[in-house]
Amino acid sequence: MEPSGGRDPVTARGNERKAIFRAESDRRHFLLGLVLGTAAFARNLRRPLVGNPREPSQLERLVPPVSWARIIAVVEPAKQERWGEFSGRHGDWGRDAALWLGRGAGRLSLAQLGELAGGMAYAAVGQAVSRFDKRLLKEPTLRRQMNHMKAQLSNVES
Q: 32-71 pLDDT, tens per residue?
A: 456 667 777 777 766 655 555 555 565 566 668 899 999 9
pLDDT at 76: 96
Q: Is the pLDDT of residue 4 over 60?
A: no
Half-sphere exposure for 118 (CA within 13 Å, toward CB) = 11
Indicate the residue type of 120.
Answer: M
Taking the alpha carbons at both ends of the chain, their separation in whole angstroms is 69
Per-domain residue ranges of the chain: 6-62, 68-154
Architecture of domain 68-154: Orthogonal Bundle (1.10)
pLDDT at 92: 82
pLDDT at 32: 47
Q: Is the pLDDT of residue 91 over 50?
A: yes
Give the whole-angstrom CA distance, residue 62 versus residue 154: 13
Closest to 122 measured CA to CA, from 108, 133, 136: 108
| pLDDT per residue as tens digits for the range 125-144 | 999 999 999 999 999 999 99
Indicate the residue type of 65.
Answer: P
Indicate the residue type of 2.
Answer: E
Give the whole-angstrom CA distance, residue 89 versus residue 130: 17
Q: Regarding predicted confidence, which is higher, 26 or 121?
A: 121
Mean per-residue pLDDT of the chain: 78
Give the whole-angstrom CA distance, residue 60 versus residue 53: 12
pLDDT category at 31 given cuts 50, 70, 90 is: very low
